[in-house]
Amino acid sequence: MSSDATRDLEAWIPRLIAVWRARRAARSKGPRQPQRGRPPFQDEPTTRLSPNEVKEVAAGIKRLSHGLTRERELAGAKYMDDPALLGAYLLFYWPVSYAQSRSLLSELPARPRSLLDLGSGPGPLAFAGLDAGASETVAADRSKPALELARALAIEASEALATREWSPERALPDGTFDVITMGHLLNELYAGDLGKRAALVEKVLEKVKPGGSLVVMEPALRDTSRALLQVRDALVAKGYAVRAPCLFRGACPALVKPSDWCHAERQWRMPALTESLARAAGLHKESLKMSYLVLAPKGEAWAEPPSGRVFRIVSEALEGKGRQRYMGCGPEGRIGLALQEKHRSEGNAKFFFLQRGEVIRVGGVAEEKGDGAGLTDQSTVDVIARAGQPLPKPS
């Protein structure tokens, strides 16, 4: 994540805590009474929670995590209407979604001016859009309490945010937008009916301005990621272009084997609040993991890929005996790329330090093997886009 985005996220932490504390106080016993000898709220730190607060929020995070990632019994349920779960979402998942979204917005070919955030919850993607330069942003969700929180955050941050109650059976908000985001929403819709999800995505794309993008972000779980890839394939088969992350224009090769899937991973500076809550809830958020798709509106062509033999790295480093290996996915498909330690040279040394999401150009000799391409000491490896950066235009 960029240093700007890191700084912006840090600025959100006291706002999240202030809004959470105000809601909680209003719920429990009306306006808080000052304690004897203690001016109200004065000794409450604004950037971290007290041990009791951490305990309380961690209980909600555990319920959310279990319900949205393990058993998934909360997916599709109205959990945002439960104050404890909404509070846990606000303090723990909000910063994660914000950071994920900033890293995806930075990959777009153009900065959005207008943005619609569908399934916004309390608005992490909407605010990420505002911080990334959008001036008109609408957050839409079916949960009134989540939208109320988004409005409270907007007041806290002196940002102009419009909110709309929306669910897929209702009309989309008026107007067209440079960017529409759907953050961790699709997997909660239509009880897994992928045809209906693809139809919704197509309808949403009608509201994207020419040259704009629809950003769909999903949890990096195997099932939710594969479901997103299937929606991708349905749209690609209808002629829609993927702006990111795909360089391959055919049916997604990660769907061939049921055990495969494709997800992104980004590095970030975890806020201290996230760190303390993750520890208390027994979760890990050292890096940001998500699956995503950036789609172009109907009739727009795929971008020309950068020249040469290019691949996006779509796995972590798969170290083997005396060699380094990754899965790469490029215009020619998804293949294994390997380099033996004994073939390390000045031109290919970068291969040993690649990160998931980076786009590389492989030059020189690469021997085709059964399981992919074997780089040689004559091969060259150049990183042409870091994870989260737009691709360079072909020269």
Ligand X SMILES: C[S@@+](CC[C@H](N)C(=O)[O-])C[C@H]1O[C@@H](n2cnc3c(N)ncnc32)[C@H](O)[C@@H]1O
Point out which span in 17-25, 118-126, 227-235, 299-307 binds ligand X (CB under 6 A).
118-126
- Residues whose CB falls within 8 Å of the CB of residue 286, separated by 6 or more in sequence, listed in order: 270
Among 24, 32, 63, 142, binds ligand X (CB under 6 A): 142
Backbone angles phi, psi at 339, to 5 degrees: -145, 125
Shortest Å, Cβ 32 to ligand X: 28
Look at phi and psi of residue 357 and say left if phi exceeds 0, alpha if psi is from -120 to 50, else beta. left
Query: What element of type H or E holds 165?
Result: strand 162-165
Structure tokens at 193: 């009916």
3-class DSSP assignment, residue 177? strand
Point out which span in 44-52, 184-192, 273-281, 332-340 binds ligand X (CB under 6 A).
184-192
Question: Is the distance from CB of 331 to CB of 247 less than 8 angstroms?
Answer: yes
Cα(360)–Cα(27) distance, integer angstroms? 53
Burial (0-12, 13-18, 19+ Cβ within 10 Å), 371: exposed
Q: Is 188 in the site for ligand X (CB under 6 A)?
A: yes
Structure tokens at 271: 């806020």
Residues within window 314-353 making contact with ligand X, judged by CB under 6 A: none
Among 50, 167, 307, 378, binds ligand X (CB under 6 A): 167
Interface size with ligand X, residues (CB under 6 A) = 20
Structure tokens at 153: 């955050």
Shortest Å, Cβ 78 to ligand X: 7
Q: Is 163 in the site for ligand X (CB under 6 A)?
A: no
Q: Is 95 in the site for ligand X (CB under 6 A)?
A: no
Beta bridge partners of 338: 325, 374
Structure tokens at 172: 């989309």
Structure tokens at 145: 């309490």
Among 8, 53, 131, 141, binds ligand X (CB under 6 A): 141
Which x/- pattern over 57-86 shows residues binding ligand X (rule: CB under 6 A)? -----------------------x------
Shortest Å, Cβ 215 to ligand X: 11
Point out which span in 40-48, 137-145, 243-251, 334-342 binds ligand X (CB under 6 A).
137-145
Q: Is 168 in the site for ligand X (CB under 6 A)?
A: yes
Q: Which is nearer to ligand X, 146 or 205 (CB)?
A: 146
Binding site for ligand X (CB under 6 A): 80, 93, 97, 119-121, 124-125, 141-143, 146, 166-168, 183-185, 188-189
